[in-house]
Structure 1
Amino acid sequence: MTFLTADAMTGGYGAADILHACTLAVDRGEIAVIVGPNGAGKSTAMKAVFGMLPLRAGHVSLDGTNITTLSPQERVRAGMGFVPQVRNVFVSMSVEENLEMGAFIRDDDFHDTMEQVFSLFPILRQKRRQPAGELSGGQRQQVAVGRALMTKPSLLMLDEPTAGVSPIVMDELFDKILEVAATGIAILMVEQNARQALAIADRGYVLVQGRNRFTDTGEALLADPEVRRTFLGG
């Protein structure tokens, strides 16, 4: 049984549907990447999985449990961690305070998890007392991912984690995402840098106008002539 299944999701804002029978899935320890042109519904699909968008049809299940009616807060408690593309850190708070905010749902000792975050992102240990608003774009993304990991998620959702960062920082972030997946966490990610993202993906989804256009392994999508010509620049 696939760990996360978002099956035939249909929904949107107001009367207009943006998603049309969109289906996504990812298993523990896998990386699933959603790519497609601007306006394809990629971020909307992520919001639907996280419960920020009501569905008119379809369902979402996590580890065999139907969570379609759960709120985002309830989904966090069920094991989902979500990192939005923008406004994903508390800029006036220190790095350490941001990470502590990620542990708000926990009533156990979370310091071991914080140490794991610092091991994954050593620069955050160095800057733990510094306001997050003073960090570079790449470092802020590390704080945002680290804060999501503080909830001890079984599914980590990333909405364009490399937006606005340099190619070097992008490569570093992708390496860290691979490290997180290697711990057994399922990762669902929207990414504009499609070629690089598909290179690390176990599963790839190409969305067009809210519909699944291509679904395959990342390797197979990179090798598909039509996908390369239409979505990857040849």
Structure 2
Amino acid sequence: MTGDVAQAAGAAPYLIGEAMRGGYGRGADILHGCTIAVERGEIAVIVGPNGAGKSTAMKAVFGMLDLREGSVRLDGEDITALSPQARVRKGMGFVPQTNNIFASMSVEENLEMGAFIRDDDFHGTMEQVYDLFPILRDKRRQAAGELSGGQRQQVAVGRALMTKPKVLMLDEPTAGVSPIVMDELFDRIIEVARTGLPVLMVEQNARQALEIADKGYVLVQGANAHTGTGAELLADTAVRRSFLGG
């Protein structure tokens, strides 16, 4: 299924940024009517060439730029007018590509910061994060800034999970890490999705991301170019030729 976005019949997606148009401040539009959605327990990935508006689409869903047209709905509720902080309280866990840890704080302090919106006992969630990322348990007293790139990304994802989000949003989680670390991170992301938590992810490593994706969106110049399952997009001749190196 390519060329436009076709929603499954029946209930609306759990999270959807629909027909989004907008840019930063008073600048020109970067998004041109693009639609991004993810269901419970699903991994949806946004791929495309550099400058396609992938991260901008993610930020629009999270409320980091004002939409000139379109809407964002979470579990049926229109949240288009909410700030990013309010969206976190509604259940959005967002991990930006850069500046996503407190480098001078320990791993454990970073995770505790992730629980800032909670007033219940969060230690059970912390144990779940340590079970998901065992290396963080070993390094919990170490400053997060001293960790490897892949370990820092684990801290960032773990901190987002500490909010007990209803949806996890990752902006290029494997940027700058080795292929081995990338595979490990993807394995952990699959584990997270299997718990029922929807995962929406922007990825530069398009082929590898589509291999784990239930749904994929190829953006070109801020608009949907191809949409389908990860397997469908990997098998699509036009997608392979244009975006996956043949």
Q: Give the TM-score range, shorter chain.
A: over 0.9
Q: Which residue of structure 1 aligns with residue 4 of structure 2?
A: none
Q: Percent identity?
A: 79
CA distance in 2, matches of 1:144, 1:24: 23
SS across alignment from 1:206: strand
Q: Which residue of structure 2 aligns with residue 106 of structure 1?
A: 118
CA distance in 1, matches of 2:173, 2:90: 23
The answer on 1:18 being equivalent to 2:30 is: yes
CA distance in 1, matches of 2:204, 2:64: 21
The answer on 1:121 being equivalent to 2:133 is: yes
Structure 1 unaligned residues grouped into runs of 5+:
none
Structure 1 length-normalised TM:
0.99
CA distance in 1, matches of 2:104, 2:22: 35
CA distance in 2, matches of 1:15, 1:146: 34
SS across alignment from 2:97: coil
Q: Which residue of structure 1 aligns with residue 19 of structure 2?
A: 8
Task: Tell me the CA shift for residue 15 of structure 1.
Answer: 3.2
Map 1:79-158 → 2, pairs under 5 A: 79-158=91-170
CA distance in 1, matches of 2:16, 2:221: 20
**Per-residue deviation, residues 25-75 of structure 1 (Å, max 9, x unmatched):** 100100000000000000000000000010000000000000000000000
CA distance in 1, matches of 2:201, 2:91: 16
Task: Tell me the CA shift for residue 5 of structure 1.
Answer: 1.2
CA distance in 2, matches of 1:157, 1:70: 17
Structure 2 length-normalised TM:
0.95
Q: Which runs of 4+ in 1 moved over 4 A?
A: none
Considering only aligned residues, what root-mean-square deviation do their CA atoms show, in Å? 0.4
Map 1:165-176 → 2, pairs under 5 A: 165-176=177-188
CA distance in 2, matches of 1:197, 1:12: 26
Map 1:152-231 → 2, pairs under 5 A: 152-231=164-243
Structure 2 unaligned residues grouped into runs of 5+:
1-10
